[in-house]
Amino acid sequence: MKSWQLPEHIADILPSTARQLESAREELLALFRVHGYELVQPPLMEYSTSLLTRIDNGLSLKTIRVVDQISGRQLGIRADITPQVARIDAHLLSANNGINRLCYAGSVLHARPEGLLSTREPLQIGAELYGFKGIEADVELIDLMLKSLKIGGMADILLSLGHIGVFRALASAANLDQEQSSRLLELMQDKDTEAVAERVKAWRLDGMWSKAFTLLPTLYGGREVLQYAREKLPDLFAVKTALDDLQAICNAFPQQKVHIDLSELRVDNYHTGLLYAAYGNNSHNAVARGGRYDDLGQHFGRARPATGFSFDLRAFTDHLPKHERPKVIMVNYQDVSEARDTIERLRKQGQCVVIDYGLKSNVSHICTGRLAKQNGEWIVSENNIHSEN
């Protein structure tokens, strides 16, 4: 293997794309800032037990592990930043018993790509709110997510809504054990109604629960699905509460295209309630995902209500506006020492000054002037662009 080759699904980011991503990252963090979200920067690697790999099988499979040569303990390279932010809220920011609004922007690493065209090193950006259980917090985060996607160049967004609480309420009422619930979840995700019906029949569930589980994969569509679900699903308090949450989100975004899917349960194990995702035009996969993960912090010593979203900014590259490299002023390398004060003054003004060593440069084509001495003063001349060396 050649020494310059990279692992599969890992790639360098070249200057033009890097400018796009960094400009979008700065704009997103500025958006989060004016909404009250403070930036945190968790480490790329920590003990694998702190990354919640022990409680989430999906997250565990994504996590790359190494042995710490100092402690001998197992380290994990983060595959998701949310557990780290939950740790920060529960431990480092535990003095605040009120609301913490936190945001982040950093790379994560996956042991395997999530799709054939996916990178194993997403640039994960997200925002999270800790300390408030009301649906109003979810409305705030969804609003922020939709604004973020506009910065990412995504138009005509479809907001997809689900709620893990519906399935869990039915599973609890039907007395399903953990193994049965997990198996049924898998079938729900595939929307395999026949397989669901066969499975609940094999378990000899009561007719009411059998009918409800078979119905669940068919409950998707527009806002009208919620009323249909109220009429057809068992009258359980937890089911009613979940449907009320979904209705509140619909009411908060009356002009937004919304898709309801009560069997959309593709979640990390730490999610506990409302689920939301955003889809762009002609996109089969969600461009952003979020939801409720109340009490995730209990694994770090402090259980708290929490909601948040995240997305991979690198997936937006084709939609981000182009950011050309700033025009440059060149100065001959022989003149740098004498012109140092002028060069630094121009750079402090935000102008790009590049030293010209007399060879072809990757900025030659965007050079707009040359710094040269005229009548005892250093002047930027637009009439003397090309090097005389």
The mean pLDDT of 90-109, rounded to a whole number, is: 92
Percent of the chain exceeding pLDDT 90 equals 58
DSSP 321: P
Q: How many residues does the chain have?
A: 389
The mean pLDDT of 340-352, rounded to a whole number, is: 95
Q: Is the pLDDT assigned to residue 347 strictly greater than 90?
A: yes
Confidence band (pLDDT; 50, 70, 90) for 2? confident
pLDDT in tens, 171-199: 999 898 888 888 888 888 777 888 888 88
Q: What is the pLDDT of residue 29?
A: 96
The span from the CA of 278 to the CA of 149, in Å, is 9
Give Cα separations from 374 to 4, 371, 377, 381, 389 (angstroms): 47, 9, 5, 9, 18
95, with CB counted inside 10 A (0-12, 13-18, 19+), is exposed
Average pLDDT, the chain: 89
Q: Which ranges in 47-192 belong to alpha helices (H)?
A: 57-62, 82-87, 135-151, 164-173, 178-189
82 is in an annotated binding site: yes
One-letter amino acid of 387: S
> Radius of gyration (Cα) for the chain, nearest Å?
27
Give Cα separations from 6 to 11, 12, 340 (angstroms): 7, 9, 40
The mean pLDDT of 25-41, rounded to a whole number, is: 96
The span from the CA of 389 to the CA of 371, in Å, is 14
Confidence band (pLDDT; 50, 70, 90) for 358? confident
For residue 115 the two structure tokens come to 């799709």
80 is in an annotated binding site: yes
pLDDT in tens, 230-269: 999 999 999 999 999 999 999 999 999 999 999 876 655 6
CB 384 within 8 A of CB 335: no
The mean pLDDT of 339-343, rounded to a whole number, is: 96
70 is in an annotated binding site: no
Q: Where do the structural domains in the chain lie, given as residue ranges? A: 15-155+281-316, 328-382
Q: Is the pLDDT assigned to residue 385 strictly greater than 60?
A: no
247 is in an annotated binding site: no
CB 304 within 8 A of CB 295: yes
The mean pLDDT of 88-111, rounded to a whole number, is: 93
For residue 88 the two structure tokens come to 């920060």
15-155+281-316 CATH pick, 3.20.20.450, 3.30.43.10, 1.10.3720.10, 3.30.930.10: 3.30.930.10
Q: Is the pLDDT assigned to residue 206 strictly greater than 60?
A: yes
20 is in an annotated binding site: no
pTM of the model: 0.88
Neighbouring CB atoms inside 10 A of 146's CB total 18
Q: What is the pLDDT of residue 24?
A: 93
168 is in an annotated binding site: no
